[in-house]
Every structure is written in structure tokens, then in C-alpha cells.
Amino acid sequence: MAIIVAVIIGSAALLAGWLLWKGSRPTVPTPSQAEPDRAARTPASAAATPAATATPDTLVAELNALSSALWASALSTTAFGYVVPSEHAAVMLAARKALAADPLSDRYFPRRPMLMPQLLAAVNDPDAPPLKLAGIIAQDPVLTGNILRLANSVYFRLSAVPVESIQRAVVVCGTDGLQSLAATALVQPVFRGGSAEHSRFPAMLWERCTQASIAAELCARKWCAADRQAAQLLALLSALGPLVAYRVVEDQYRAQPGLRPAPAVFLQVIDRFARVMAGRIAALWQSPPRIVAALQVDESAEPLVRALRAGELLATLSLLAAAGRITEEEGAAHAEAAGVPAPLFATVWARLHPPGESAPSPDVA
């Protein structure tokens, strides 16, 4: 009898210990885990995973959860649910069919910028002289103007003296900096537009795209220095996936004028198709196979992919902080949970939040 009692007591102790351990684990909400009609929850309410246990999968899980919170904010909803109202099921189905179609309708694929092939060639040639790249840019006056605006923006400004010519940009930014400016300026026009109902989404997505390209390049310097420009380009191309998914859903709602667009439909479709569409667009734009493959990877063990996902994560944290959803300290905790070292977080954060500068509002019009 004493032995049986001891076994019962021991089993109860083990069970209590397991429940205590389980209860102490972090719970970062992800689309696949979201309960129906769950109340609003900000990312800051989730505890951080200890850095010692962070894995490539942890990075992607953190990124998915935080991105969903950012998209929900951009879609003007405070609810974090993913339940699609029954009357919106037809819109959801039509959007999924449109995105799964092969080939995808031309109306949804962003047109490749005319100078993108030459820019990709320059990115793949580390020895390309700055004047050669400047000559490519000079072919397009609109591109030149966009590059100069970016060169004088809060994120890219490297000199107190205004950059007023491409020749000056070559001197101030160098080849790498000019490539970054050119790639960003080429992609930017794609993000303009959006319905009145959710017009903030393309603007917010563009803002994250810009910050992610900077953050990914800084992460690549630490993890795969030779791929700095590739990481920056990946961040720009990666943002095209959620943009196309958003536009497809928006288009389906235009065919149902009696329905007010439901954020849950956008969130589900973006979560399901964003990476796939980014890879398809990159392939259509004749990007190198390695770039296409990196966009569609679901984990981040490979250094270049890790730099991309970490860049997107850090940009998302930056925007959530700018919106007052989290503090810098909470952002640092989420970054550490995802496996981003504290010194790297500090470097990126300082670049995205320069002293005395306020981040621009997400407006690309």
C-alpha cells in the first residue's frame, strides 16, 4: 500500500511539474493557432522564447505572428481572429482559385521594371564600376528623381549635404549604396494604390519593405557578407507576394459590392499565398534561381534566407513600435527570441530610428 501511495504521489508531482513547464512556455499567436473570435492581442503580450532555444523555425514563427499583427493594423482591425464570416466564403474561395491558377492572370502580376534586368546584372557583378550603374540609371529620368528622393530620406541619408545628382550619389553612397537605392526606387511604384476601405495596407507594406531591405542587408553583413545586395533585393521582392495576395482579394470584393471587405479574408489569403507568389513573381522577372528559391523557403537555416527573414522581422518590430503597439525593449526581446543577437538588433534599430529623426508615415502616394 505504501508503495502504491508513493507511486501516486510521484506521478502527481511529475504531472504538476510538466504542467508548470508547459504553462511557462511562450505563446506567440500564429494564423494556424488562432482561435475563432479571439480578442485582440498585441505581440507584446506574448512572452519571449529564451535565445538559447531559438531555432530557424523560431525565427519564422515570430515573423509570421508579428507580421499578422501588423497586417491586421494596416487593415484597420483590432481583432486578431482568422474566422471568415460565412457570407464571405465565396470571396475567399475565388481569391484562392485566382492565386492558385497557372498561369496567373496578367492583371495581378506587377510589371517588371524595364531596367530590372540590368540592375540584376549589376548586383551579380561586385566589380561593376559605379559609373556603369550611374549610366544605367540615367536612362530613366523618373527613376533618377526617385533615387535622389530616397538618397535624401531618413533611411538612406548618408551626408548632411543634400544629394542632388546621380554623380553625387555615386560619391556619397558608393556602388553598394547606389544599387540599394536603384532597386528600391525601381520597385516602389508597384506599391501605389489600394481601395478606400484598406488604403493603408499597400503603404504599410511598402514601409516594411523599405525597412526590411535595409535590415536584411545589415544582417547579411554579419552572416553572409558576400550576399549583402542579394539580401536587400530579396526583401524588396518578398514584399510583392503579400501585395499581390491583397490585390486579388480586393478585386474579388469589387465583384461583390454588397459586401464590406472582411480583414480575416485578407489575412488568411496573405498568410497562405504570400511566399509562393513572391517566388512566382521573381521567376517571372527572370531573377536568378537562387533568389527565387530563397523567397519560398519556409525555414531560415541558410544564411541568406536567415538574413531575409530577420530583416523582415526587425522591420515589423520597428513599425509596431512606431505605431505604439510595442516598446523598443519588447522589440529587443522578440528579436532575441527569434535568434537575433542583441548587438545586431541595436545596430539595425539605430539605422531604422536615427537620433532626432522620426520615421516617415507609411504613405507612398
Range of lowest pLDDT (83-87, 104-108, 171-175, 283-287): 171-175
State which H helix or E strand residue 170 sits in.
helix 166-187
DSSP notation for 149-165: HHHTSTTT---SS---S
Rounded Cα distance between 334 and 340, Å, is: 9
Q: Would you state the cell numbers that stand for residue 166, as one nine-digit string? A: 546621380
**pLDDT tops 90 at residue 146:** no
CA atoms within 13 A on the CB side of 361: 3
Q: Which of 306, 339, 298, 197 is nearest to 256 (CA)?
A: 197
> Per-residue confidence at 38, pLDDT binned at 50, 70, 90?
very low
DSSP notation for 206-254: HHHHHHHHHHHHHHHHHH-GGGHHHHHHHHHHHTHHHHHHHHHHHHHHH
pLDDT in tens, 204-240: 999 999 999 999 999 999 999 988 888 999 999 999 9
SS3 content of the chain, % helix, strand, coil (to 5): 65, 0, 35
Those residues whose C-beta lies under 8 Å from the C-beta of residue 74, and which sit 6 or more positions away, are 198, 200, 201, 203, 204, 205, 362
Q: Please give the average per-residue pLDDT across 260-268, as a whole number.
A: 90
Q: Please give the average per-residue pLDDT across 319-333, as a whole number.
A: 94
Query: What sign results for the dihedral spanned by CA atoms 150, 154, 155, 158?
Result: positive
Query: Where are the alpha helices (H) located in the chain, listed in sequence order?
Result: 2-24, 56-74, 89-100, 116-123, 130-137, 141-151, 166-187, 200-223, 228-238, 240-254, 263-284, 289-295, 303-322, 328-337, 342-352
**Domain parsing of the chain, residue ranges:** 53-110+198-365, 113-191
Range of lowest pLDDT (27-41, 90-104, 196-210, 310-324): 27-41
Rounded Cα distance between 306 and 279, Å, is: 16
Range of lowest pLDDT (124-133, 135-144, 235-244, 310-319): 124-133
Range of lowest pLDDT (38-52, 109-123, 209-223, 320-334): 38-52
How far, in Å, are 35, 136, 205 from residue 142 at the CA level?
47, 13, 22
Q: Which of 139, 103, 85 is nearest to 259 (CA)?
A: 85
Check if the beta carbon of residue 312 is closer than 8 Å to that of residue 294: no
How many CB atoms are located within 10 Å of the residue 254 CB? 9
CATH class of 53-110+198-365: mainly alpha
Q: Would you state the cell numbers that stand for residue 197, as one nine-digit string? A: 476601405
Sole residue written with cell 499565398:
273
Which range of 18-32, 224-238, 328-342 scores highest in mean pLDDT? It is 328-342
Q: Please give the average per-residue pLDDT across 117-146, as a whole number.
A: 73
Q: Please give the average per-residue pLDDT across 35-49, as a whole number.
A: 40
Q: Which of 66, 27, 72, 76 is nearest to 48 (CA)?
A: 27
pLDDT in tens, 273-318: 999 999 998 998 888 888 898 998 877 789 999 999 999 999 999 9
Average pLDDT across the chain, whole number: 77
> Per-residue confidence at 162, pLDDT binned at 50, 70, 90?
confident
**pLDDT tops 60 at residue 361:** no
Check if the beta carbon of residue 339 is closer than 8 Å to that of residue 263: no
**pLDDT tops 80 at residue 364:** no
Check if the beta carbon of residue 207 is closer than 8 Å to that of residue 362: yes
- Residue 28 has what pLDDT? 35
Which range of 1-5, 25-29, 45-49, 339-343 scores highest in mean pLDDT? It is 339-343
Higher pLDDT, 86 or 300: 86
